[in-house]
Amino acid sequence: MSAPPALLEVDKLHVHFRLHEGWGLGRRGVLRAVDGVGFTIAEGETLGLVGESGCGKSTLGRAVLRLVGVTAGKVRFAGNDVLKLSARRMRSFRRHMQIIFQDPFGSLNPRLTVLDIVGEAMLVHGLVRSNAAMEERVRELLDKVGLPEDALRRYPHEFSGGQRQRIAIARALALSPRFIVADEPLAALDVSIQTQIVNLLRSLQRELGLSFLFIGHDLRMIEYLADRVAVMYVGRFVELASKRELFDRPLHPYTRSLLAAVPVPDPERGRRRIVLAGDAPDPIDPPEGCRFHPRCPEVMAECMKDIPPLEEVRPGHWVACVRARDADSAV
């Protein structure tokens, strides 16, 4: 069976920030937040994106939506070259590509009611012709995300964190998008609320045929929600595979260390922890060769010379590791 056509195609994407001493870092340089990343997302698919804080996950998600400047590379959405669209065309194009931010309070305007927060974009894009039509559509969206009708006239501070995130989801759905970047939407929520939000997103995806780039730290939630998973380390992908393949047969040492840190509910089984030395390297001055080699428990001399390319070592399973050339022995 052939793979479904890609809705989103990202190729060799680079996002670099030139730093100046006045930025408070005390030095100049180029911060390589995203450094040559490529992937695709099919219609109705969820790609999970994981990695340590500061690895470039959020920057990648925002770059795909052109919310931050792109240094080099290509982003194609439904056949359109997003990076070449004029500002005017991009403004109208944004209705198809939306984002759910991490902080459900900071991303909502405290001076607006829920009606205005969710409905404003409909008026801007001309999807409704009157305030009455906007209100009716907002009521439908609130019902869809599990909020009561009386939420319509209330303000963000009157809701809990989970309810505010539901408002943010309703806002993202207001323009009937095809693709949503969910930028760590669970990070600021209690564990019990996280499950509710994940179930809501999964239900909405099935109902509306949405595609997601789901960015997160919780590998259990990623395993539940995603179809494929990409592992990012200091601006680059080190592994990309189907969910089942990656969780059952991880090939990169960094991926294995992340999975080994996930708690196991059975105390008699447990997992052998993999302790990594030190912290992730400085993205302004990354090490030569593989960026993971200073912390890798399986490092070889070859790892310190050249940056390993992301190679397909098994069908649909991509790894950036010299040891993964012999995939079976690396498991």
DSSP string, 32-95: EEEEEEEEEEETT-EEEEE--TTSSHHHHHHHHTTSS--SEEEEEETTEEGGGS-HHHHHHHGG
pLDDT band for position 324 (50/70/90)? confident
Dmax (CA) of the chain: 68
3-state secondary structure of 251: coil
CA gap 325, 309 in Å, rounded: 11
CA gap 107, 283 in Å, rounded: 27
Angle formed by the axes of helices 161-173 and 191-208, nearest 10°: 20
Cα dihedral 282, 285, 286, 289 in deg (nearest 10):
-160
The more confident residue out of 74 and 3 is 74
Q: Which residues pair with 318 in a beta bridge?
A: 240, 312
Pairing of strands 72-77, 80-81: antiparallel
Q: What is the pLDDT of residue 323?
A: 81
What is the residue whose two structure tokens read 């780039």?
213
Interval 38-55: pLDDT, tens: 999 999 999 999 999 889
The CA–CA distances, whole Å, from 186 to 131, 217, 231, 235 equal 32, 9, 18, 22
Q: What is the DSSP letter of 147?
A: -
Q: Write the DSSP string, 189-236.
A: S-HHHHHHHHHHHHHHHHHHT-EEEEE-S-HHHHHHH-SEEEEEETTE
pLDDT band for position 135 (50/70/90)? very high
CA gap 246, 251 in Å, rounded: 8
pTM of the model: 0.91
Interval 62-115: pLDDT, tens: 999 999 999 999 999 999 999 999 988 998 899 999 999 988 888 899 999 999
